[in-house]
Structure 1
Amino acid sequence: MDYFFDQHFHVMHISHPNLISFLASLDTGIPELITSGALSPGYILTAKNRKGPVLLNRLTNTLTTFEQSIGQTLVMMEDDLRGVFTSHEEGAPRPELPYIREGKMHMRGRTYDKMAMCPLLMDFSSSLVRKETLYYPTPSEQKILDYVKDSLEGFSYYHSQRPDGLFEFFPFLGINPPVHSLDFIKELLSTYIATGNKQFYGIKFYPPLGYDPWPSDEIERQKVLYIYEFCSQNNIPIMTHCDDQGFRGIPAKEAWKYTAPSAYKPVLARFPLLRIDFAHYGWQYTPLQKNPITVISSLTSKVPDSTWFYEITELMQLYPNIYADISFSGANPDFYLQLVNYLNSLEEEKRRVILSRSLFGTDFSVNLMKVESYTSYYRMFEQSPLSDDEVHAMVSVNPLRFMHIGQE
């Protein structure tokens, strides 16, 4: 069985995010948005989608996926790759033939029997939020349980509608340790990920919601230690958000501290075999976060200018199970050029390690703010300067190893 992986994407309903938590994180209002880089021209407001009609269409497209059920969105994603929909955006990347045709997935001359879909559930659960400026206290919510229920129902709906469909699901369970008790975390793991009842295949961490990879507080430390031990003993992969943007539940500077790859150094010192994917390849959009020397070097050599990118590639050389995916970052064609330029500057062994730890992912439906469609993202990847063998490694060989599938 030949699998093609989308290692990183999201499907959710508008009821799943915690908008109150996000608004509570913007303590300083507009200045916080500006300094955080959320308004950076490299993030959402690119030269193309700053134009009124394009931005409105992108926003509407994105919201469409939040207004329908998870199952309906999954069917829509497969229909997109089957060529069901028509492009209406001038210059949008489109393949000559649909990616899914004749019962197979096609990419760069290779065919794949199944698509291994790895939806990432974010744990939007929250503790009681009290702010002096608010009249009512916001509620404490265990949002992850409803999200799990809706996701499992969505997978069942897809299979009922597409009994011969190409999608197989390998979901990741979001856990935000600070808002749960250790007993609740143990119950989540035993119910959904334990080997005997495996409905989820990995764990999703999202530091900007308040998760510290190595907290100083003893009670909080015990929670994360339990999760790391569980993952180590059961070969469970971890994916952690790793760019300086996205949904937040805490102020930007605190989120950056927890999100930085270096925050995992004490974790890896204790658990060196942990399997961790640093999402988005550590891309940074705000100049405040970048090393000036790295920025200058990127201008002359056309290589990545994000400090976190280099922290990740260094961790890859030190630990055998550190990976990174190209989700969302790959919506910018320059990303692929910079990645290839960097790889070509390395000695062969370092280059080989990084290529063997790189994963394809889309960040659908968040990526719809930067591309017209799910298909468009695939086409940008297909048109990248990566070789055919490198593309195949990122969509099949590497994710099978990362997920520990077929290696038991």
Structure 2
Amino acid sequence: MNYFFDQHFHVMNIEHPNLLSFFSSLDTGLPDLITSGALSPSYILTAKNRKGPVLLNRLTNTLTTFEQSIGETLVLMENDLMGAYPSHEEGALRPELPYIRDGKMHMRDQVYDRLAMCPLLMDFSSNQLRKESLYYPIPKEQKILDYVRDTLEGFDYYAKEHPQGLFEFFPFLGINPPVHSLDFIQELLETYVLKDRKQKQERQRFYGVKFYPPLGYDPWPSEGQERKKVQLIYDFCATYDVPIMTHCDDQGFRGVPAKEAWKYTAPSSYKPVLARYPMLRIDFAHYGWQYNQLQKNPLTLISSMAYKVPDSPWFHELVELMHLYPNIYADVSFSGTNPEFYVLLKNYIQSLEEEKRQTILERTMFGTDFSVNLMKVESYTSYYRIFEESPFSDEDIHRFVHTNPLQYMRFGQA
């Protein structure tokens, strides 16, 4: 099957995130929010977004996807690629023809039979939390179970509404070890994650595991019960060659204060993990991008775009891991809302010697981060168009959407 992969996106409704956990993480209030980079002009509040009603429209557009069922959002995404919705934003990038037409997916010079859609479930479960400043305790919730149920129901709804649709689903199960017992984590893995694709069990419909460190997940805790939890997951993934996806930029939803979230999210936090499990296949999402201005290299400000390369320390930590381990990947989700991201990435790859250049070209994957990306682009289609107009060759684009994800997902040779 000639697949086109969206290796990274989210579908959820307003019941799935844990907003109580997020607000409890802002221990120092507004100063913590500012220091974290959430209000950075390079993250959400871009020059374009601050003009007129654009930011409000973007926020409303994003929330629209949270006000409907997962199945309805999946139908909406495919309808968008089929050209069902006109643009209402001046300057929004649009393709000349819909990406899905004549029963196929089109991207540049390639035609694809199906779209391999990899929705990532985030584990918003929480422990009972008592903060001295709060009158009522925050309740303990196993949100991941409801999220799994709603997602699987969403797949069924999509199949009913679009029986001839091109979407095929390969979801990743979110697990946040600190908020669960060892036995519960074992149950999650055994119940929902595929071990043998030739002998699928009824509820084993998840092809990978999703980690989200800003929720409080430490990739390699100190010795003790927390270490046992993560080792249980790594042992499972190593034994059955299950792919892992981990969040890797300095923004997004948080369940712990910013500095703690950064400590866990940095690619270097996985060095002891990979020293123990060198064959793990891990996709570091968002290419390790950092929006916090304190992390930027001021020398890049005086360079022309033609010569600039990424200045995020995490980006370079991630690339180092790619060169050290055979199954380390990165995806362009959300980072690709900014066309300049692709220019910087292309410049960097071109600056490398041939062997290192090929390593990165063979480990880069396309992803959108829908529907979070709607804060910076008008639509799912717009994100595809920015990617299509990137400076990468047709061959590279095909690698990112097809060849590399097939390898990462263990679907055989392209």
- Asked if the contact 2:93–2:382 (Cα under 8 Å) also holds between the matched residues in 1, the reply is yes
Which aligned pairs between 1:2-401 and structure 2 lie closer than 5 A? 2-195=2-195, 196-197=200-201, 198-290=204-296, 301-401=307-407
Q: Deviations over 1:223-277 (max 9, x none)?
A: 0001001001111000000000000000000000000000000000000000000
Corresponding residue pairs, total:
407
**SS, match of residue 149 in structure 2:** helix
Letter matched to residue 89 of structure 1: E
**SS, match of residue 14 in structure 2:** coil
In 2, the alpha carbon distance for the partners of 1:377 and 1:295 equals 26
- Asked if the contact 1:8–1:363 (Cα under 8 Å) also holds between the matched residues in 2, the reply is yes
Shift of 1:295: 7.3
Letter matched to residue 91 of structure 1: G
- Asked if the contact 1:295–1:306 (Cα under 8 Å) also holds between the matched residues in 2, the reply is no
- Asked if the contact 1:294–1:307 (Cα under 8 Å) also holds between the matched residues in 2, the reply is no
Shift of 1:298: 8.8
**SS, match of residue 34 in structure 2:** helix
- Asked if the contact 1:294–1:306 (Cα under 8 Å) also holds between the matched residues in 2, the reply is no
Shift of 1:290: 4.1
In 1, the alpha carbon distance for the partners of 2:180 and 2:14 equals 23
**SS, match of residue 43 in structure 1:** coil
In 1, the alpha carbon distance for the partners of 2:304 and 2:149 equals 45
**SS, match of residue 314 in structure 2:** helix
Shift of 1:215: 0.3
Whose helix proportion is higher, 1 or 2?
1
Unaligned runs of 5+ in 2: none
Shift of 1:131: 0.7
In 2, the alpha carbon distance for the partners of 1:344 and 1:291 equals 20
In 2, the alpha carbon distance for the partners of 1:25 and 1:297 equals 37
Q: Deviations over 1:154-205 (max 9, x none)?
A: 0000001111100000000000000000100000000001424231000000
Shift of 1:51: 1.8
- Asked if the contact 1:297–1:305 (Cα under 8 Å) also holds between the matched residues in 2, the reply is no
Residues 361 and 72 (structure 1 numbering): CA distance in 2 closer, same or farther, change over 3 Å? same
**SS, match of residue 301 in structure 1:** coil
Shift of 1:109: 1.3
Letter matched to residue 172 of structure 2: F
Shift of 1:292: 6.0
Shift of 1:148: 0.2
In 1, the alpha carbon distance for the partners of 2:389 and 2:297 equals 30
Q: Which moved more, 1:194-203 or 1:95-104?
A: 194-203
Shift of 1:302: 0.8
In 2, the alpha carbon distance for the partners of 1:297 and 1:125 equals 45
Residues 2 and 194 (structure 1 numbering): CA distance in 2 closer, same or farther, change over 3 Å? closer
Shift of 1:86: 0.3
In 2, the alpha carbon distance for the partners of 1:176 and 1:76 equals 29
- Asked if the contact 2:40–2:293 (Cα under 8 Å) also holds between the matched residues in 1, the reply is no
Q: Deviations over 1:311-362 (max 9, x none)?
A: 1111000000000000000000000000000011000000000000000000
Task: State the TM-score, normalized to the length of structure 1.
Answer: 0.98
**SS, match of residue 27 in structure 1:** coil
In 1, the alpha carbon distance for the partners of 2:113 and 2:192 equals 27
Identical-residue share of aligned pairs (%):
75
Unaligned runs of 5+ in 1: none
- Asked if the contact 1:274–1:321 (Cα under 8 Å) also holds between the matched residues in 2, the reply is yes
Shift of 1:19: 0.2
Letter matched to residue 203 of structure 1: V
Letter matched to residue 31 of structure 1: P
Aligned-residue RMSD, C-alpha: 1.4
Residues 302 and 294 (structure 1 numbering): CA distance in 2 closer, same or farther, change over 3 Å? closer
Shift of 1:305: 1.0
Q: Deviations over 1:16-52 (max 9, x none)?
A: 0000000000011110111111000100000001123
Letter matched to residue 353 of structure 1: T
- Asked if the contact 2:309–2:344 (Cα under 8 Å) also holds between the matched residues in 1, the reply is yes
Shift of 1:289: 3.0
